[in-house]
Structure 1
Amino acid sequence: MTFSESLEKSLYLTVEDGHKSLRFDSHSIQSAMSLDDPYSLALGYSQTMMGFLLFNPAPKHVLIVGLGGGSLPKYCYRYLPDCKVSTLEISENVIALRDEFLIPRDNERFTIIQTDAVDYITQGLAEADVIMLDAYDEEGLPAVLATESYYDHCRMALSEQGVLVINLWGTDPQLNIYIERLKRVFNGRVWFCRAFHSYNVIVFASNDENFKINWIKLLFLASRLESQHHVDLQGIVRRLRAGLPY
């Protein structure tokens, strides 16, 4: 069974407590949308992934791997008005749900591409300032999306000041291995923290060879950016500074 076949057999929608959710099973939520504020980020992990703004506050192109309910693409489209947003999604069935989650039609700034993200990125078709990896099936993170080779191809697809952002399950026994792979690929320029309100771990890897973190300056930047974004960026700075025992 392929990744896409497994995904298509397991997805279903629920509506409860003011949210519409895309689920693999009754225990886990793949994506969620507030019915009162469809463009907001309803889940803590997606809020934390927006921490890439601390590394690149004004990207011109964000590439997202994994559409789900479209929370991250929609947020970037609305709150980064000068940015192009492209999303890679392997499943026709997931894309077919775009109206359920009020995902915009394709236009000059917003595109959903049905493709295998591994092929797309390793074939050199991607160029972006930010790449966000958030593609899961009911078994977890597909192994092909976490190899050192794949991370290296993502790095090559990034601009010089680009950022790779990855959503990882904090209970994944391979978590340490993934982080060490990223450190090798990005020459140690890797920071990670626990996501808000979840066990997910969000990892940020900078492609900027000259990037060094000054925590005080980063807090000032976070404070300034919070006037434009509905995200606790100062909280993300504090979480990144504290690190994560692993």
Structure 2
Amino acid sequence: MTDEREERILAEVHDDFGMIRVLEVEDYRFLEFGDAIEQSCTFTADPAWLEYDYTRAMLIGALCHEAPESALFLGLGAGTLTQACLKFLPLEDVEAIELRPEVPRLAMEYMGLEDDPRLYIRVGDALQLLETAEPADLIFVDLYTDVGPGAGHLAWSFLENCQKRLTPGGWLVINQWANDDGRPLGAALLRGLYHRHYWELPVKEGNVILIVPADLEQVLELDALMARAEALAPRLGYSLQTLIKDIRPAS
């Protein structure tokens, strides 16, 4: 996506997990892990702008909740989705757990992540720290490394505990890798774990966003979701309707 003739390296650091780099290309900045593996993209004029369909699809998952007050982000990256949720949702308490200590620092210094008083960032392994996190109305799982999805994306007990950490009526939103057949990575595991009671939203980047309710009695009300998305569109600057139409029951 980036043009090497125009890109400028703003920062490059090394930690126990490898290299992290921040690049700037015209009006965008990119957070990369390892050998040019893009993790996040920020529109510098508006850090809450969601450039990619997978982040917009994760926001759609958040809109399944009528009025969320708390959110937990497992994996922070540049914080664009976190910023969008803080800006557009009635959140009062937001926690983010990020494995790599340099990531939050770079996000704040270069990617526009604001030091919002509602946001609390902890550094550590989400698989270990989940049990110490407060229950939340929304939980987002986006644990990617420079070689693909982290272990948590296929860890039965972790994914089960994510759902259990939801408050009543809450929603779990997982950015899952898609296989060649368009189904999510670990589809059989997910069907068994969540009793086929979840929804999928495939996006063009090759991911499938999973939208999982707190319990089996809870359903995704498409009409209400569409109405909330439509009401938010003028503030977002883009429509979510086309993506919402691609939501499907668990495959």
Q: TM-score, normalization: structure 1?
A: 0.84
The 5-angstrom pairing of residues 10-159 of structure 1 reads 10-24=19-33, 28-97=37-106, 98-105=108-115, 107=117, 109-121=118-130, 123-159=131-167
Higher mean C-alpha displacement, 210-219 vs 200-209: 210-219
Q: Return the letter of the residue paired with 2:189.
A: R
Partner-residue secondary structure (3-state), 1:99: helix
Q: How many residues align?
A: 236
Two-structure CA RMSD over aligned residues (Å): 2.6
- Of residues 206, 219, 228 in structure 1, which corresponds to 2:226? 219
CA drift of 1:203 comes to 0.9
Cα 1:35–1:220 change in 2 (3 A) is: closer
Aligned to 1:203: 210
The 5-angstrom pairing of residues 163-202 of structure 1 reads 163-171=171-179, 176=184, 178-195=186-203, 197-202=204-209
**Residues 193-242 of structure 1: per-residue CA shift (max 9 Å, x gap):** 222x411211111114322345445434432343554453322321104x
Q: Return the letter of the residue paired with 2:244.
A: V
Q: Return the letter of the residue paired with 2:158.
A: Y
Native 8 Å contact 2:176 2:185 kept in 1: no
Partner-residue secondary structure (3-state), 1:38: coil
**Residues 74-119 of structure 1: per-residue CA shift (max 9 Å, x gap):** 1111222443221101111112212211212252x11111121111
Give 5+ residue unaligned stretches, structure 2.
1-14
Higher mean C-alpha displacement, 175-184 vs 36-45: 175-184
- Where is the strand percentage greater, Structure 1 or Structure 2? 2
Give 5+ residue unaligned stretches, structure 1.
none
Native 8 Å contact 1:106 1:112 kept in 2: no
Q: TM-score, normalization: structure 2?
A: 0.83
In 2, distance between residues paired with 1:77 and 1:218? 18
Higher mean C-alpha displacement, 177-186 vs 14-23: 177-186
Native 8 Å contact 1:65 1:134 kept in 2: yes
Native 8 Å contact 1:186 1:207 kept in 2: no
Cα 1:174–1:221 change in 2 (3 A) is: closer
Higher mean C-alpha displacement, 218-227 vs 73-82: 218-227
**Residues 122-146 of structure 1: per-residue CA shift (max 9 Å, x gap):** x353311111011211111122442
Identity, % of aligned pairs? Answer: 25
Is 1:5–2:16 an aligned residue pair? yes
